[in-house]
C-alpha cells in the first residue's frame, strides 16, 4: 500500500514479521558498581542497558582495541605480515607502564607484538606496531582518530597507541562498545586467535592475561582490561552462549576483582532477560519494490548482512518490521545500492532501523519505456 510522506510518495510494505528488540528498563538491571557502563548486542548494535554511557572518560589500555583494529586492517590489506620482523626503537623500548619487554636490536615479529599487546597489554608493543605502520606514534594517532570517525565514535579522541594518560585522550563506554563490536565483526579470525589467550611468555617472562573472566566463565572469549589511577579499573568483556554474543563495558570500578564481577553481572543479566532472534538472512529477499523507467518493474530488496535483534523475553509477538522506500524509485539501480529502510517497532514505538539494498541491478528501460513511465508519474 502507499501513503503520502513529506511531499513524497512512499511505499510501506508490512512484512508480518513479529520479532525485534527493545530497550531495557534499567530498573531490571542490578546496581553496577562502575562510573559508567553499557551492555550491548554486538550483532545488532543495540544498547540493551546503560548508565553514563556518553560521559567522556580516560580509556586507559582499552585504547589498545583501536590499535589492534588498525593492525588487523593492515594485515588484511597486506601492509603487514605476521612473520615480518619489526625494528624496536628506543621510544618503544623505554615505554612505561605495562610491557612485554621487547629489547633494542632483538628481532621481534608482528605476531609476537600483537600477542604481547593483547595478552600482556604491552605499551612497548603498541609503540613498535604504531611505528612500523605509520612511521611515528603521532602519525598513528591520526589514523586512530580517522578510524574512530569512520566507525561512528563521536565522543573519542586518541593521542597515543597504548592509552597512557593525556588530557586530549578520551572515550566513552558507548564508543568503546562500538569499537569492540567492530573488531569482533570485522576481524573474527584474529579475535578468535588472540583474545582468548590466557598467558604469554616472551623474553623468558610469562605474564597472565588480566581479564579474570577468561578463567571464571568458559563462555567469555575476550576482550580487554585497562587501568590507570584516573580511569580506575576497566573491562570490556564479551561472551558467546550458543549463537548469541553479548558485550559489556564497565569503566571506573574500584578494583580488578570488582571490574570482573560487574562485567559478569551485566553479561548474565543480558543472557537471562533477552533472547536474540534472527530477523533476515542476507541471501533472501525482504520484499519487492516498484521500479520506474527500468527494464524490470519489480526490484528484489534485501539486507547486506544477516540481521538479528535482541528481544526482551515475552515481547517478541508485539514487534513488527516494515520495509519503507521513498518513491519514485527510478532506474538504473545497481546491486547493493541502498533503496530503502527496514524499520522495527514495538507497540508502534521505533526500535531500530537498517538499510535495505537492491539484490540485483536494474538497467534503464528503452526510450519508449522511459517516456511511458514519465507520463504515468506525471499523472500519479
pLDDT tens for the chain, residues 1 to 380: 222 222 222 333 333 333 233 344 455 789 999 999 999 999 888 899 999 999 999 999 999 999 999 999 999 999 999 999 999 999 999 999 999 999 998 999 999 999 999 999 999 999 999 999 999 999 999 999 999 999 999 999 999 999 999 999 999 999 999 999 999 999 999 999 999 999 999 999 999 999 999 999 999 999 999 999 999 999 999 999 998 999 999 999 999 999 999 999 999 999 999 987 778 888 889 889 888 777 888 889 999 888 888 888 888 778 788 888 877 888 798 999 999 999 988 788 888 888 999 999 988 877 766 666 577 667 66
CB of 50 within 8 A of CB of 127? no
- Tell me the C-alpha distance between 134 and 144, whole Å: 11
Provide the 8-state DSSP code for 29. Answer: S
Do residue 205 and residue 354 come from a single domain? no
Same domain, 113 and 175: yes
The question of whether 64 is a catalytic residue gets the answer yes
Q: Check if 248 is active-site.
A: no
Name the one residue in this structure whose C-alpha cell is 508480518: 16
Distance CA 110, CA 100 (A): 13
Are residues 197 and 76 part of one domain? yes
Active site annotation includes 22: no
Contacts of 6 (CB under 8 A, 6+ apart): none
CATH, residue 283: 2.60.410.10
Q: Does residue 263 fall inside a structural domain? A: no
The reported pLDDT for the residue numbered 11 is: 34
Distance CA 46, CA 48 (A): 6
pLDDT given at position 305: 84
Q: Which residues contact 326 (CB under 8 A, 6 or more apart)?
A: 5, 8, 10, 340
Q: Indicate which residue of 64, 224, 265, 293 is catalytic.
A: 64
CA 107 to chain centre: 34
Domain assignment of residue 329, yes or no = yes
Residues 84 and 191 both lie in one domain: yes
* Catalytic site residue from 22, 44, 89, 121: 121
| Partners of 311 in the β-ladder | 275
CB atoms within 10 A of CB 64: 27
Is residue 107 domain-shared with residue 169, that is, in the same domain?
yes
Nearest C-alpha neighbor of 359 from the set 310, 294, 286? 286
Structural domain tally of the chain? 2
**Residue 64 domain boundaries:** 34-253
Q: How far apart are CA 77 and CA 340, in angstroms?
A: 31
**Contact in structure between 347 and 317 (CB atoms under 8 Å):** no
Task: Evaluate whether residue 265 is within a structural domain.
Answer: no
Residues 230 and 347 in one domain: no
Whether residue 234 is found in the same domain as residue 337: no
By the 8 A CB rule, do 335 and 361 touch?
Answer: yes
Residue (of 233, 237, 232, 192) closest to 214 by Cα position? 237
Cα separation, 380 vs 368, in Å, equals 18
Identify whether residues 226 and 118 lie together within a single domain.
yes
pTM of the model: 0.85
Q: Annotated catalytic residue: which of 61, 162, 310, 325? A: 61
CA distances from 152 to 86, 145, 174, 175 (A): 31, 11, 10, 8
d(CA 246, CA 41): 5
Residues 15 and 58 in one domain: no
Candidates 255, 259, 258, 189; CA nearest to 224 is 259
Q: Within a domain: residue 237?
A: yes
User: Other CB atoms closer than 10 Å to residue 251's CB: what's the count?
Assistant: 30
pLDDT at site 352: 82
Amino acid at each position: 500500500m502507499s501513503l503520502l510522506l513529506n511531499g513524497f510518495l512512499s511505499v510501506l510494505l508490512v512484512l508480518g514479521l513479529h520479532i525485534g528488540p527493545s530497550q531495557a528498563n534499567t530498573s531490571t538491571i542490578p546496581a553496577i558498581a562502575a562510573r559508567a557502563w553499557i551492555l550491548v548486542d554486538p550483532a545488532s548494535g543495540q544498547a540493551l542497558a546503560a548508565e553514563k554511557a556518553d560521559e567522556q572518560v580516560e580509556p586507559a589500555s582499552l585504547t589498545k582495541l583501536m590499535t589492534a583494529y588498525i593492525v588487523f586492517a593492515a594485515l588484511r590489506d597486506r601492509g603487514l605480515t605476521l612473520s615480518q620482523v619489526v625494528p624496536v626503537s628506543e621510544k618503544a623500548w623505554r615505554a612505561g607502564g605495562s610491557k612485554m619487554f621487547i629489547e633494542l636490536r632483538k628481532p621481534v615479529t608482528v605476531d609476537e607484538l600483537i600477542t604481547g599487546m593483547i595478552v600482556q597489554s604491552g605499551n612497548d608493543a603498541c609503540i613498535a606496531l604504531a611505528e612500523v605502520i605509520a612511521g611515528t606514534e603521532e602519525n598513528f594517532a591520526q589514523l586512530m582518530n580517522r578510524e574512530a570517525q569512520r566507525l561512528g565514535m563521536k565522543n573519542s579522541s586518541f593521542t597515543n597507541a597504548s592509552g597512557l594518560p593525556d588530557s586530549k585522550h578520551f572515550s566513552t563506554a558507548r564508543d568503546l562498545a562500538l569499537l569492540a563490536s567492530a573488531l569482533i565483526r570485522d576481524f573474527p579470525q584474529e579475535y578468535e586467535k588472540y583474545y582468548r589467550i590466557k598467558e604469554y611468555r616472551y623474553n623468558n617472562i610469562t605474564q597472565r592475561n588480566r581479564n579474570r573472566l577468561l578463567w571464571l566463565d568458559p563462555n567469555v572469549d575476550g576482550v580487554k582490561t585497562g587501568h590507570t589511577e584516573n580511569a580506575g579499573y576497566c573491562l570490556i568483556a564479551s561472551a558467546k552462549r550458543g549463537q548469541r554474543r553479548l558485550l559489556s563495558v564497565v569503566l571506573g570500578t574500584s578494583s580488578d576483582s570488582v571490574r570482573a564481577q560487574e562485567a559478569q553481572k551485566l553479561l548474565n543479566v543480558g543472557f537471562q532477560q533477552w533472547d536474540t532472534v534472527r530477523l533476515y538472512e542476507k541471501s533472501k529477499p525482504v520484499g519487492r519494490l516498484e521500479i520506474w523507467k527500468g527494464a524490470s518493474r519489480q526490484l528484489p530488496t534485501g539486507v547486506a548482512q544477516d540481521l538479528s535483534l535482541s528481544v526482551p523475553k515475552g515481547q517478541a509477538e508485539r514487534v513488527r518490521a516494515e520495509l519503507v522506500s521513498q518513491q519514485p524509485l527510478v532506474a538504473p539501480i545497481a546491486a547493493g545500492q541502498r533503496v530503502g529502510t527496514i524499520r522495527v517497532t514495538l507497540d508502534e514505538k521505533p526500535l531500530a532501523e537498517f538499510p535495505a539494498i537492491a539484490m540485483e541491478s536494474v538497467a534503464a528501460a528503452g526510450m519508449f519505456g522511459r517516456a511511458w513511465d514519465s507520463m504515468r508519474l506525471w499523472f500519479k
